[in-house]
Amino acid sequence: EVQLEESGGGLVQPGRPLRLSCSTSGFTFSDHSMTWVRQAPGKGLEWVGLIRSQTYGGTAESAASVKGRITISRDESKSIAYLQINSLESEDTGVYYCSTSTSELPLAPLDVWGRGTMVTVSS
């Protein structure tokens, strides 16, 4: 069974950086892209970014709303994906989910999700 587990959330001061982790198991991590989605309190889902599998270059894409402030990376040896957000703003507050597709295709819907980790940006 494919499982994802996010960690690293918590209370962070504005302007500080934060790195979230997504630990995975139950599948061949290197064959799958990993996606980050966030949800502000009481709001809808917002796609944050993704990192492609090594097969497709291991490169990342990010939403315009966070471009330049985030870095998405992956550690193939540990089967972990990371989301680093710099210069945190109050608007970054929310639940951050990592997700993936059991398909190895580069364009595929997200059929596996973690439970999410809460990030609160406040002084």
Q: Which residues bind another protein (CB under 8 A)?
A: 33, 35, 37, 44-47, 50, 52, 61, 63-64, 97, 99, 106-111, 113-116
Q: Which is nearer to another protein, 18 or 112 (CB)?
A: 112
Residue entry with tokens 């951050």: 96
The helix/strand/coil state of 30 is helix
Least Cβ distance, residue 49 to another protein (angstroms):
9
Kindly tell me which of 110 and 121 has the beta carbon lying closer to another protein.
Answer: 110
- Residue closer to another protein by CB (options 11, 45) is 45
Q: How far is the CB of 119 from another protein (least distance, A)?
A: 15
CA distance linking residue 73 with residue 51, whole number of Å = 7
Query: ∠ at Cα 27 (31, 114), nearest 5°?
Result: 105
d(CA 74, CA 65): 21
